[in-house]
Every structure is written in C-alpha cells, then in structure tokens.
C-alpha cells in the first residue's frame, strides 16, 4: 500500500495561532501557512494568545519563547495545565537552539520545537507530526 503523501491540502482550514512579539516574524509565518491552506490568527505575547484562545477555535499554537508579559514557556505551561486548552498542540519556534531550552519546553508540554528561521520542509514535518500523528 502506498504511503499517503503529506501536503498542505490535508490541513486546509485548520486554524493556527502564531504568537511572536515581532510583527515581521508573524507575517512571514502567516504567509507560509497561507500557502498551506491554514487560517492564521496572530498574538504579540502569551497574554494576548490566551485572549485569542478564549474567543476562537484554534487547532495549533506556534509560539516564540522570549516575549514580554508572558513568554512561550509560561504560555505552554498555562495551556497544558488548563483542561480547556490542554489538547491544543503547542510548537515552540525560537532562535534558542540550546538543548536546555528545547528540553524545558518539552517538559512543560510543548509538542514540538522549531529553530528560527523555519524552512517550509521543517514546518511540513512538524505539521505532519501534530495533525497527522506521523512519527
């Protein structure tokens, strides 16, 4: 049996919340996800992200680590400790490639970790893991 090819069309219509304090980063990620058929909502920090989550259906959260008010670690921990948000996958997207950051994020409940700037190939792999439970 041939393995199903993973393409953006599989995820068309899924809603992604991109959380980053830099508008340019949010714009870049939004443009990439739009080519994959994903709907993107934006937030500038963890506090704003929780506001969005309280009002809208979100299928995935992509979050930076270092942000004012509430960073990605705190957002991940808050989401994973709240039954309302626990099932929403969280992927950290950060310039911090040190293993201590990666382990801390995963320990707090992050579902995956990407290093900035992400390639389309790496994003596709992470989306397959999160949405299709591949790997």
pLDDT of residue 57: 95
- pLDDT tens readout for residues 67-107: 999 999 999 999 999 999 999 999 999 999 999 999 999 99
Going from N- to C-terminal start, the domains of the chain cover 12-132
- pLDDT tens readout for residues 11-22: 788 999 999 999
- pLDDT tens readout for residues 114-128: 999 888 899 889 998
pLDDT of residue 83: 97
CA 36 vs. chain centroid, Å, equals 14
State the pTM of this model.
Answer: 0.89
pLDDT of residue 135: 54
C-alpha to C-alpha distance for 104 and 31, rounded to whole angstroms: 29
Report the mean per-residue pLDDT for the chain. Answer: 90
Domain 12-132, architecture per CATH: 3-Layer(aba) Sandwich (3.40)
C-alpha to C-alpha distance for 128 and 26, rounded to whole angstroms: 21
């Amino acid at each position: 049996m041939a393995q199903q090819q993973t393409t953006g069309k599989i995820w068309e219509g899924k809603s992604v919340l991109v959380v980053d304090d830099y508008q340019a980063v949010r714009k870049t990620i939004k443009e990439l996800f739009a080519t994959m058929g994903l709907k993107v909502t934006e937030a500038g920090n963890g506090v704003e992200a929780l506001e969005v989550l309280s009002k809208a259906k979100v299928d995935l959260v992509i979050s930076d680590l270092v942000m004012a008010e509430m960073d990605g670690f705190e957002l991940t921990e808050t989401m994973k400790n709240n039954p309302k948000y626990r099932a929403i996958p969280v992927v950290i997207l950060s310039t911090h490639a040190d293993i201590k950051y990666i382990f801390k994020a995963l320990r707090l409940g992050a579902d995956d970790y990407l290093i900035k700037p992400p390639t389309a190939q790496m994003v596709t792999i992470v989306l397959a893991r999160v949405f299709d439970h591949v790997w």
